[in-house]
Amino acid sequence: MMRKRTFIVGNWKMHKTGAEAETFMDALLDEMPAPPCTVYIASPLTALARVAEIAEGSGVSIGAQNVSAFDEGAYTGEVSARMVKETSSLFALIGHSERRRLFAEDDHTVRKKLIRALVADLRPLLCVGETEEERTEHRTEEVLERQLMTALDGVSDADFRKVIIAYEPVWAIGSGRSASPETAQQTHAFCRSVLKKRFGNPAIDTPLLYGGSVNPETVRDLIVQPDIDGALVGGASLDVDAFIAIIHNATSQT
């Protein structure tokens, strides 16, 4: 069995101009020239190239928050996975709940995007999660299984090894109400069992990240759970001191 690795991924969402991103990265790398765990930043597209240049050789990897479901063509405003790859990006978020909810991305669109990312040689960071209503109705497992199985339909065993999963309960995102470590662990274990059923033992090594109101305090008890391999951090990744504290607190627990 591969040793557990810790991933801390910042998702800046629609925040930070190129200049603001540069200031953040300079401060992060001043403080942590060699980060003690795997650190990814999902940057706005307009700052990607600049952030990638600063991060080069530092151990911090850069990625996009979305890619188009199409390869190329008359799709005004869209940006393809191949274009993202050209910015030295390593990964792309796929199927974030804000994309699903606000931009009407269904499971089939999410699958197309995941395939585009793989074809362009980007690591897909697939986001799944239930709404509050679905949890109350005891449909969490059904929803997660559907989201995972549809998005990963047709993915080869070799490509599956590049996939990272983030479990982000929709009710926990930006709400200050993180899932408890026990609830998150239970749900992660379920996601891993779904992945194992489909892909077998390689699923033991799939990084499963938790996202939803992670902060420097909550990360401590989350990261020690056996099936939680890291965190996808939104709000608290905007402030460099908070982000550094998350990295520090996560790595001093493992």
Long-range contacts of 96-102 (CB under 8 A, 24+ apart): 96/11, 96/65, 96/66, 96/127, 96/168, 97/127, 97/129, 97/168, 97/170, 97/173, 98/13, 98/173, 99/66, 101/170
* Number of neighbouring beta carbons within 10 Å of residue 170: 20
Q: Are 209 and 232 in contact (CB under 8 A)?
A: yes
Q: Compare residues 35 and 212 and give the one whose CB is closer to ligand PGA.
A: 212
Q: How far is the CB of 6 from ligand PGA (least distance, A)?
A: 17
Q: Compare residues 67 and 214 and give the one whose CB is closer to ligand PGA.
A: 214
Which residues sit at the interface with ligand PGA, rule CB under 6 A? Answer: 11, 168, 173-174, 211-214, 232-236
Q: Compare residues 99 and 199 and give the one whose CB is closer to ligand PGA.
A: 99
To which residue do tokens 């969490």 refer?
140
**From 96, 105, 130, 188, active-site residue:** 96
Q: How far is the CB of 208 from ligand PGA (least distance, A)?
A: 14
**How far is 193 from 208, CA to CA, in rounded Å?**
12
Catalytic residue at 168?
yes
Q: Which two tokens stand for residue 74?
A: 């008359």
Q: In the bound complex, which residue of the shown chain has the CB atom lying closest to ligand PGA?
A: 234
Q: Compare residues 25 and 214 and give the one whose CB is closer to ligand PGA.
A: 214
Q: Compare residues 10 and 35 and give the one whose CB is closer to ligand PGA.
A: 10
Catalytic residue at 182?
no
**From 98, 134, 168, 248, active-site residue:** 168
Q: Distance of CA 224 to CAs 25, 169, 233, 254, Å?
A: 27, 19, 17, 7
**How far is 171 from 97, CA to CA, in rounded Å?**
10
**How far is 93 from 48, CA to CA, in rounded Å?**
14
Q: Are 203 and 163 in contact (CB under 8 A)?
A: no
**How far is 105 from 114, CA to CA, in rounded Å?**
12
**Catalytic positions, written as ranges:** 96, 168
